[in-house]
Structure 1
Amino acid sequence: MHSTRRAALALALASPALAQPQWPSRPVRMLIPYPPGGPTDILGRIVAQRLTLDLGQPFVAENRAGAGGSIGAEAVARAAADGSTFLVNASARVIVPHMVRLPFDAMADFAPVTMIAAVPLILVVPVSSPARDVAGLVAWLRQNPAARSYASSSNGGAPHLAGEMFRLQSGLDLQHIPYRGSGQALPDLVSGQVGLMFDSMASSADLVREGRLRALAVSTDERVPAFPNLPTMREAGFPDYEITTWYGIWAPARTAPAIVGAMHHAVAAALRHPETMARLGALGAIPGGQPPETFARFAARENERYARLVREAGIRAE
């Protein structure tokens, strides 16, 4: 890391109210509340690796899966607010609380740091599926009730809500099959045990490129550079369809603003690094890096949006 970047980080921590050694003075844990192999894990590890190189302290990506991401989130909420533990989570973090009662306050018990990236969802089917486009998929499912199952990475994640939006707008009676992360769902999708999935592009893009899955559409309102020939769901005949998943970093509440600010600056710099940008671009991810205040306002708006969607769709924990 260049001396100027180290100096800037030191200035961010130059607060007389901060009665502790300069951060980071020891290894930092970045808890990922899902199993290895999914998009949250992939993106979290990309950032952790860059931070380790830039800051000279290990940033350790640690998987703490279970309960739709709530176990790992609770561990961070209860962790010491000393800059040694952060949460890396997906937009499920502002969805799950509207489905189940949690042993922590999803908003008040965390200090927003920044967004890592926003990532399109991609509608994928097994290569054994006869569907070559979304219209063909709908026609096939209407004729084959046994094939009407969709996988998701967890209850309450954006892929789950994307599947429910598809169910409501297509009029199909689809069965939701939740998994503990995309890494566990994708093998069953590849083998044809489930019929379709709206997955984060970060975890399924390579399988599409390798010809192990077939992509039919993206969930965003515009096409994405990573797959420019892939239509949007709106172009495929669903004019009201749009949903994107995103990934962010949070600290325990009461973490010193100087530490939150320093972490934000470090992550923003990591996201601007050419190698990181190339890795995110290959995954179809749009880098974040917003200041904590901006990210906090965005998360609050998403929290309200998903509260309405969960209520209107009648989604319940399974």
Structure 2
Amino acid sequence: MPKDRTITRRALLHCAAWSGVAAISPAAAFAAADAPYPSRPVTWVIPFAPGGATGRLSLLICERLSLRLGQPFVLEHRPGAGGATATRSVASAAPDGYTLLATSTANVINAALDPSSTEDGADLVPVAGMARMPLLLLVNKELPVKTLPEFLAYARANPGKLSVGSAGAGTVQLLSAELFRTLGGITWSVVHYRGSGPALTDLASGHIHAMFDNAASAADLLRSGKIRALAVSTRERAQTLPDLPPVADVLPAFETSGFYGVGAPRRTPQAIVELLNREINTALADPEIARHFAEVGATPITGDTGVYAATYHAEVMRWRKLVPQASAKR
């Protein structure tokens, strides 16, 4: 795992941006044709610690890619800086299709924080989508609340006494919690982790009181009864947990969701990008993967590279509106 290095905020934001698929030089096209891809293992980088939705979704896709393309697609976790450490390492990797990044809402949020980010000159190209899914407001089972209104009342009656988990700076878990804090008129302390997995472990053990995360990450703890879900972050109820009300029922301006996809270093040959896009879309259509996605409330994101790039940039614009609200002063 590479060591974290101090870099400028501008560099972090620049690494998080995306570009359209870059044009291929004749030499690159010849190389791609001369050596069929993939001819060796592919590294699929996860920007967070094990146990989160990014890793769980990626594992399902990589298993299918390994079978269909005849080479291992190996998951490698590189947590740090809310996903920026992994983003930076993949952006600087050889543009040959053998190092890919599992992207998440953290990349979208970082790009949204940079008003000058455009497709031109960015360090990653969009390969394919994976899924969109709602987040859940989760609490430790010992917290004396069982509904969203009870939680809000308890938080307001105990200002500054609750601790909330974050999967890292710039993540959808943190921004959802901060948007909830702002709209709910409450105060609490935030505890940062290097991914959802460690935060959920501390939530179950009572070291923190609450957090936002998705059903894919929290499923095992929810089934065991160690944590409790109070509400869903989207305006629609989750198919997997239909009894959970949307946060918007109580805080009308609240709405967030997780957004997951795949990126590659800029200048990766278009033929490779398009091959991966087709294969990932084929994997998403697999009935077994569709069943797993449905179990955690994930909606597949399908389409060619152009469709996914447009979807990604629409998500950036949405978060540009949300970030100022979530970042309001305490």
If the TM-score is normalised by the length of the shorter chain, which range does it land in? 0.7 to 0.9
Q: Which moved more, 1:115-124 or 1:135-144?
A: 135-144
Aligned AA (1:170): G
Equivalent residue for 1:40, pick from 44, 50, 54: 54
Find the counterpart in structure 2 of residue 5 from structure 1: none
Match of 1:301 among 299, 314, 329: 314
CA change 1:150–1:65 in 2 (3 A) is same
Residue equivalent to 1:3: none
Change in Cα spacing, 1:98 to 1:273, as seen in structure 2 (3 Å) is closer
| Counterpart-to-counterpart distance in 1, 2:202 and 2:251 | 26
Contact 2:155/2:187 (CA < 8 Å) preserved in 1? no
User: CA 1:63–1:106 in 2, change beyond 3 Å: closer, same or farther?
Assistant: farther
Does residue 1:61 correspond to 2:75, yes or no? Answer: yes
Q: Match of 1:24, SS?
A: coil
> Equivalent residue for 2:123?
109
Measured against aligned partners, the alpha-carbon deviations of 1:272-318 in whole angstroms (never above 9, x if no partner) come to 112111221222111122211111111112222323332344369xx
Which consecutive unaligned segments of at least 5 residues does structure 2 have?
Answer: 1-28
SS, match of residue 61 in structure 1: strand
Q: How does 1:7-26 map to 2 (within 5 A)?
A: 18-26=32-40
Which of 64, 73, 90 lines up with 1:50 in the alignment? 64
Task: Measure the CA separation in 2 of the matches of 1:188 and 1:131.
Answer: 18
Contact 1:96 1:155 in 2 (8 A): no
**Aligned counterparts of 2:33 and 2:205: Cα–Cα separation in 1:** 55
Quote how far apart the aligned CAs of 1:54 are: 1.9
Residue equivalent to 1:263: 276
Query: How many residue pairs are counted as aligned between the two chains?
Result: 298
Gaps of 5+ in 1: 1-14
Report whether the alignment pairs 1:192 with 2:206: yes
Give the match's secondary structure for 1:234.
helix
**Whole-Å Cα distance in 1 between the matches of residues 120 and 135 of structure 2?**
24
Q: What code does the residue aligned with 1:223 have?
A: R
Normalising by structure 1, we get a TM-score of: 0.88
Normalized against structure 2, the TM-score is what? 0.85
> Which structure 2 residues correspond to residues 1-318 of structure 1 after superposition, within 5 A?
18-97=32-111, 108-145=122-159, 147-235=161-249, 237-314=250-327
Q: Is the CA contact 2:90–2:264 (under 8 Å) kept in the aligned structure 1?
A: yes
| Percent identical residues | 40
Tell me, in whole angstroms, the C-alpha distance in 1 between the residues paired with 2:160 and 2:324: 28
Separation in 1 of the partners of 2:120 and 2:47?
14
